[in-house]
Amino acid sequence: MHSNKSLTFAALVAAILDLSSWRGARAEATLAPFTPTVINWSLDVPTIRRVCAEQIAAARTGIARLAHANQVATFDNTVLPLENIFADLSDTTVVETFLSQVSPDKAVRDASVDCQNDQSAFQSEATAVPSIYRSLLVVSKGGAARSDADKALLRFYLNTYRQAGAGLGERARAQFVALSKELATVQNQYLQNYANDNTSLTVSQPEIAGLPDDFVASLKSNGGGGLILPVNDSTYGIIAANATNENLRRRVYFADTNIQFPANIRLLERAIQIRYRLAHLLGYHSWAAYQMATRAVTQPAKIDAFLAQLDAHLKRDAAADVSALAALKGATIQPWDVAFYRNQLQKTRYAVDRNIVRQYFPAPHVVDAIMQIYQRILGVTFTAVRPARAWYPDVIEYAVSDTQSGRYLGTLFLDLYPRQGKPGGAFNDPILPVRRSANGSWRPPITAMVVSDWPAPLAGKPALLTHEDVTTFFHEFGHAMAALLTTAPYESLSSFNQDFVEAPSQMLENFTWDPSVLKQISSNVDTGQPMPDGLIHNLIAVRCTSDRLCNAQSASTQIMFSDIDLRYHEDGPNVNVNDVWYAVSRADTPIPTPAGAHPAAQFTHLMGGYDAGYYVYLWSLVYAQDMFTAFAPDLESPAVGMRYRKTILEPARIYSPDVEVANFLGRPMSPAAFYAGFNTRVP
């Protein structure tokens, strides 16, 4: 996931805009040497509140000055100042907003969320100013934007202001701004509810049969002979795949799918209502139509057709995948059975035991080895900074430089282990994007990978990762490299558009199924030996028992998530999110969601920037698999890696996905590789 910090300005507008009409070969920037940026992460609540208020006030003054400027609008006196106002606000409150996701202090996290809400409220007002929108229209007609990046930035702000209600009449605009403010607050509350959850179960020793010894050793006693079993992103996968007691798997499944129920259901339904009203104020029939109007797909019907077509191709195979699991169980497969019987299938048919595989993936070695691969592919060097200047003791800091020139490129933080208050899952947050200042100097980027679903190290022993964990790290590290290597001169252009944002990282997931890569990134926790060739061969053979790139049942689950998202945002304001979930799961997958489960209460993507956009996880795969065809003959080719860096990562969202992919591949994008993964032809 690119980032779930969706309510700062850059992420908020990046989630709704597409700049697909701007074309060119590559980013135009030539970067001057960078000076590292050192940040103080130790802020208390009063400081967060004071700095946030001061910087919002400064930004408000800048917007007022621009709104009342008596001048003929040009790119230099309108678009550039606008970009600088929003970038300055983001840059000067980077700690104040980021700490909501990583601080161990709940009071600090809460103050950080308040800062995000205050910024979102200001941004809702600032992007709805009619006079600024009129000035942007004047600039667009005057041809004052000079470079491709300038044209892209102008288009960015035109879309931003139009989609923020700046072209509405006074009454409608006031409604739009008020609703936008409420939406930001509702979304942040949902995400914080989930991050602060501490759901757990009390279990007996016999109930936990099958769970790995190191995991059992991490459990705390309840003082009465039982054990406390936390239910969160770092524990669920281990329990679901290994617990032999079906009743325990069922209990954990329902505990997990009821996290923050019913509070988050109410918040999600309110968000859907607000989005519907916002879309209608701007003349769109749905929020999905509003979101896609400025994306490459342009309208929901294209995505609906793509998903329906894919679903039709995969239905039979998905049912067959589930039948294979049911044969092992000797009964109907339930949602809490899938991971367990996949694990059994891999053991019995392919001689792959995920707990044996984990012994070859100690986290420190995996991280180091994957970083070495990225170094060779992309021509960068990672140098550990000790002691790390970070927000928590176990966070790791790296200085990133260009290998050939030695030029400093930016800073990377790795926050890899679970703790209370961290968001679930794994994501990369481009904390401080690259930026060209008014005087022509460049400010280096800072990015952070935040992971919450790895197990914690125990008693001096490293955390042991599943192959899925390794693949996720490879994916998220791809996002980190995108944040560090872009040369787009403006913060607002430093990330990919929403239709493409997952594609580069999804392409890189393929590396973790290659024999030579698996040999490099594996090291037995006791002996230090790499994974044996036989186990590597078997591990690769199990790919299509679970991977969404070739396992129909896994892909059907992604189709279900995408369809649920679109139903929420196409069907009208008063959606019963639970009823829709149950209905779509029955239609799309061979394993429907049972009554009593409420997974919509944990669907954080829909409150973190992927609303009416979850489809990108499948849509981006079409780009991802085609791009991988360039790497496939020689995964670590420096020439291919540098071409990827120059044509995909450096321009970021200056050009459209189709243009960038064509520049990388030397031909137009083709969906053939995507469909080949499912042994089917392009429809």
**Which CATH number fits the domain that encloses residue 397?**
3.40.390.10
DSSP string, 342-380: HHHHHHHHH---HHHHHTT-BHHHHHHHHHHHHHHHHTE
- Residue 454 within any structural domain of the chain: yes
619 within 8 A of 303, measured Cβ to Cβ: yes
- For the cut 70, the answer to whether the pLDDT of residue 29 exceeds it is no
Region of 201 please: left (phi>0), alpha (psi -120 to 50) or beta: beta
Model confidence over 379-392: pLDDT tens digits?
A: 999 999 999 999 99
Confidence (pLDDT) at 424: 84
Distance CA(381)–CA(355), nearest Å, equals: 33
The owner of tokens 């070495």 is: 372
DSSP lists the bridge partners of residue 413 as 397, 448
37 vs 646, more confident: 646
- For the cut 60, the answer to whether the pLDDT of residue 402 exceeds it is yes
Report, as an integer, the average pLDDT of 594-610: 98
Distance CA(371)–CA(91), nearest Å, equals: 27
Per-residue burial over 641-661, b if 16 or more Cβ lie within 10 Å, else e, is bebbbbbbbbbbbbbbbbbbb
Residues 6 or more apart whose CB falls under 8 angstroms from that of 169 comprise: none
Record the pTM: 0.92
Distance CA(183)–CA(469), nearest Å, equals: 33
Distance CA(1)–CA(472), nearest Å, equals: 9
Residue 395 and residue 252 share a domain: no
Confidence (pLDDT) at 38: 80
- Residue 177 within any structural domain of the chain: no
Residue 389 and residue 522 share a domain: yes
DSSP-derived letter for residue 206 is: G
**Secondary structure (H, E, C), 379-420:** CEEEEEECCCCCCCCCCEEEEEEECCCCCEEEEEEEECCCCC
Confidence (pLDDT) at 145: 64
**Secondary structure (H, E, C), 594-652:** CCCCCHHHHCHHHHCCCCCCCCHHHHHHHHHHHHHHHHCCCCCCHHHHHHHHHHHHCCC
What residue type is assigned to position 96 of the chain? E
Distance CA(371)–CA(481), nearest Å, equals: 10
* Domain range for 464: 363-502+515-531
- Residue 386 within any structural domain of the chain: yes
- For the cut 90, the answer to whether the pLDDT of residue 364 exceeds it is yes
Confidence (pLDDT) at 300: 94
Distance CA(370)–CA(374), nearest Å, equals: 6
Report, as an integer, the average pLDDT of 514-539: 98
Distance CA(527)–CA(495), nearest Å, equals: 42
Residues 6 or more apart whose CB falls under 8 angstroms from that of 461 comprise: 214, 525
Report, as an integer, the average pLDDT of 511-529: 98
Distance CA(275)–CA(9), nearest Å, equals: 17
- Residue 301 within any structural domain of the chain: no
Distance CA(61)–CA(55), nearest Å, equals: 10
Confidence (pLDDT) at 678: 83
Range from 36-45, 229-238, 351-360, 567-576 carrying the lowest mean pLDDT: 36-45
Q: Which of the four pLDDT bands, split at 50, 70 and 90, describes residue 108?
A: very high
Model confidence over 427-446: pLDDT tens digits?
A: 999 999 999 887 778 899 99
Confidence (pLDDT) at 10: 31
- Residue 477 within any structural domain of the chain: yes
Confidence (pLDDT) at 13: 30
Q: Which of the four pLDDT bands, split at 50, 70 and 90, describes residue 32?
A: very low
- For the cut 70, the answer to whether the pLDDT of residue 417 exceeds it is yes
Confidence (pLDDT) at 144: 66
- Residue 625 within any structural domain of the chain: no
Mean pLDDT of the chain: 93
516 within 8 A of 635, measured Cβ to Cβ: yes
Confidence (pLDDT) at 76: 94
400 within 8 A of 412, measured Cβ to Cβ: yes
Q: Which of the four pLDDT bands, split at 50, 70 and 90, describes residue 215?
A: very high
Mark which of 256, 278, 294 sits at the end of a domain: 256
Residue 374 and residue 492 share a domain: yes
406 vs 681, more confident: 406
- For the cut 70, the answer to whether the pLDDT of residue 651 exceeds it is yes
> Kind of pairing, strands 396-402 and 426-432?
unpaired
- For the cut 90, the answer to whether the pLDDT of residue 19 exceeds it is no
- For the cut 70, the answer to whether the pLDDT of residue 278 exceeds it is yes
- Residue 601 within any structural domain of the chain: no
Q: Which pair of tokens denotes residue 408?
A: 């400093």
256 within 8 A of 557, measured Cβ to Cβ: no
Confidence (pLDDT) at 680: 67
**Helix, strand counts (H, E) of the chain:** 27, 10
- For the cut 90, the answer to whether the pLDDT of residue 414 exceeds it is yes
Residues 6 or more apart whose CB falls under 8 angstroms from that of 68 comprise: 131
Indicate the number of domains in the chain.
2
Report, as an integer, the average pLDDT of 355-361: 98
Confidence (pLDDT) at 548: 82
- Residue 556 within any structural domain of the chain: no
Confidence (pLDDT) at 572: 86
Report, as an integer, the average pLDDT of 402-410: 95
454 within 8 A of 463, measured Cβ to Cβ: yes
Mark which of 256, 282, 303 sits at the end of a domain: 256
End-to-end CA distance of the chain: 28
For residue 462, say if its preceding peptide bond is cis, omega within 30 degrees of 0.
no
Question: For the chain, what percent of residues have pLDDT higher than 70?
Answer: 94
Confidence (pLDDT) at 520: 99
Distance CA(464)–CA(450), nearest Å, equals: 17
Report, as an integer, the average pLDDT of 462-479: 97
By CB neighbour count within 10 A (0-12 exposed, 13-18 middle, 19+ buried), where does 667 fall?
exposed
Model confidence over 58-72: pLDDT tens digits?
A: 999 999 999 999 999
Distance CA(275)–CA(573), nearest Å, equals: 8
Distance CA(540)–CA(560), nearest Å, equals: 26
Confidence (pLDDT) at 296: 84
> Kind of pairing, strands 435-436 and 380-385?
unpaired
- For the cut 80, the answer to whether the pLDDT of residue 299 exceeds it is yes
Model confidence over 157-209: pLDDT tens digits?
A: 999 999 999 999 999 999 999 999 999 999 999 999 999 999 999 999 999 99
Report, as an integer, the average pLDDT of 437-459: 90
